[in-house]
Amino acid sequence: MFGLPKALLPIYLIVFLDVLGLTILIPLLPALAQKLHSTPAVMGAAISVTAVWATLSSPVWGRLSDKVSRKTVLQYSQCFSLVGFVLLALTNNLWLLFISRSIEGLGGGNLGVAQSYIADETKPDQREKAFAFSAAAFGIGFVIGPTLAGQLLRIDVSVPFWVAAALQAANLVITHLFLDKTESKIADKVYKKAIVGELKTRPMLNVMGRQFLYIFSFTYFFTIFSLYLQREMNMPPETSSLFLAVAGAVGAVMQIFAIDRLNKRFGEFILSEAAFALGFVAFAAMFFIGHSIVIFVAILVVWAISGSALRPTLNKLIADRAPEEQRGAILGFADSLNNFSMIVAPAAGGIILGFAPVAIGVLPAIAIAGAFVLGLFGKKPERHKDQQQPASAAAPSAA
């Protein structure tokens, strides 16, 4: 499979279905807000509460995946997500909305586990491509999810959530049937000390800080997307979902055909800094949108290209710095940090959209600029044992 281990195919399908379930929700926020007689700020808070629980659960899932099994942890987390989506489909008031989003958040902290599985199954020189394909699965889910949501909304606002629940059920089956079970690799008394020491290194802190700022800006824009288009351009969810699909298609094409080549030609530093610069241009240009669809689409394409490079590159940098036996916990911690950014980003976006929509791009532009500056002070990844082996000798390890 494009020079990558076949064992990665199930995990890519899992990532795709997870993202499909998430992106089905976002275009429905205006319709859900109308159904529950709510406001953009409250809808932003509903997404933030998911991130609160994902922040708390990510390190736990990551540590358990190192000590028990990646497969087992993914199955448990998927059960939480399934219950959350079922409750969301049944939601008819705000308190049930927040309960359902909280439960879904507990299950949504498993991205670090999936990333750990990818890193475990690949050699160091394969990881950029492996993470690019994971990001492409993310992007394809981005294409299909919003489009599907827009069409299903014509039936009833609850139907897309039932579909999301069905997708999580499919995820459980795929994980059970096709994902290899893995075993623990490190003693408990060594584990905690080793992880704390690794997380305190300057290169690790630098790349995690950059990823935090990127995820903040991405989540901010993603979660206010449909609300912004409805408020400023009077665009219904069925139409705004098509714009999200365009962004996902651009990102997926870049990740499948371009990112690995660009990384080999220019290196991770130049690629990531150029992507941060593009992201800054996109967010800063939002000040000039007015009611122009053309300008908005141009910004959307630039934003998608930026994200298509940043997601796999930053994930690879963290995975390269993490020793094999601690990847689950370290990537789980990184996922937790990213989820923390999702706590404040949707709420901030909802508030700014409510009071000053013309300034909607200021906050993510500042975050991206900060990530760019941090990159100037970054160092090359430290090489661990699994990276020092010759490519011919380093067989893919079990997670």
pLDDT exceeds 60 at position 308: yes
pLDDT exceeds 50 at position 396: no
Residue 214's nearest CA partner among 276, 268, 163 is 276
The C-alpha atoms of residue 231 and residue 93 are separated, in whole angstroms, by 23
pLDDT band with cut points at 50, 70 and 90 for residue 372: very high
Contact of 57 with 49, CB cutoff 8 Å: no
For residues 102-107, average pLDDT: 86
For residues 160-165, average pLDDT: 88
Question: What are the residues whose beta carbons fall under 8 Å from the beta carbon of 327, sequence distance 6 or more?
Answer: 66, 115, 116, 119, 120, 319
pLDDT value of residue 391 = 37
Residue 52's nearest CA partner among 338, 335, 343, 348 is 343
The C-alpha atoms of residue 310 and residue 167 are separated, in whole angstroms, by 27
Task: State CA 81 to chain mean position distance.
Answer: 15
pLDDT exceeds 50 at position 385: no
Q: Which has more confidence, 386 or 148?
A: 148
DSSP 3-state percent helix, strand, coil across the chain (nearest 5): 85, 0, 15
Contact of 24 with 148, CB cutoff 8 Å: yes
Residue type present at position 277: A
- Other CB atoms within a 10 A radius of the CB of residue 284 amount to 17
pLDDT value of residue 380 = 53
Contact of 347 with 216, CB cutoff 8 Å: no
Q: How far apart are the first and last CA of the chain?
A: 19
For residues 15-22, average pLDDT: 76
Question: Which homologous superfamily does the CATH classification assign to the domain defined by 8-383?
Answer: MFS general substrate transporter like domains (1.20.1250.20)
Token output for 77 = 């987390």
Query: Can you point out the beta strands (E) in 158-290?
Result: none
The C-alpha atoms of residue 262 and residue 252 are separated, in whole angstroms, by 15
Cα three-residue angle 123-125-131, rounded to 5 degrees: 80
Percent of the chain with pLDDT over 70: 87
Residue type present at position 34: Q
Question: What are the residues whose beta carbons fall under 8 Å from the beta carbon of 137, sequence distance 6 or more?
Answer: 12, 13, 15, 16, 19
Residue 349's nearest CA partner among 55, 99, 24, 43 is 43
pLDDT exceeds 60 at position 383: no
For the entire predicted model, the pTM comes to 0.75
The domain locations on the chain are 8-383
- Other CB atoms within a 10 A radius of the CB of residue 298 amount to 14
pLDDT value of residue 183 = 62
